[in-house]
Amino acid sequence: MSKVKISGFISRLKDYHHGTRGKTRRTLMLTYSNVAVHAPKEQLLSRVEADVTGNVLHHYRTSCQVLGITVTNKDMHLKLTLIQNVTEISCAILETRDSQKF
């Protein structure tokens, strides 16, 4: 009986997680990549690794957790958002003068 209650509780948490919280995290991730695209090019390389990419990965990793436990994330929207972030950040890096050094 307790296993049924626990699995139902976890199922409801996953539904909530993929709802409002998931949308908020995806929006934050897209915001960071947009900052990279519109940032001054001379300041981008010094900040992209720690500030931009680090925060994007942080929000992605926390989206893959339920109650602090890492779970396999099957949210296709989240995965596509991560791919879009990597693409936008890469394009922003390539537009800088020193992209070859980076």
List the Cα angle 5/66/68 in 5-degree steps: 115
Question: CA-CA distance, 61 to 40, in Å (whole number)?
Answer: 28
Taking the complete model, does pTM exceed 0.75, yes or no?
Answer: no
User: Which residues 6+ apart lie within 8 Å of 13 measured at CB?
Assistant: 66, 67
Task: Show the beta-strand stretches assigned E in the chain.
Answer: 65-66, 69-70
- pLDDT for 82 equals 92
Q: Are 47 and 70 in contact (CB under 8 A)?
A: no
Q: How many other C-beta atoms are found inside a 10 Å radius of the C-beta of residue 39?
A: 17
Report pLDDT digits (tens) over 81-97.
Answer: 999 999 999 999 998 88
Per-residue pLDDT of the chain (102 residues; tens, 9 = 90+): 444 555 665 666 666 655 677 788 888 899 999 999 999 988 888 889 889 999 999 988 887 766 666 666 667 888 899 999 999 999 999 988 876 776
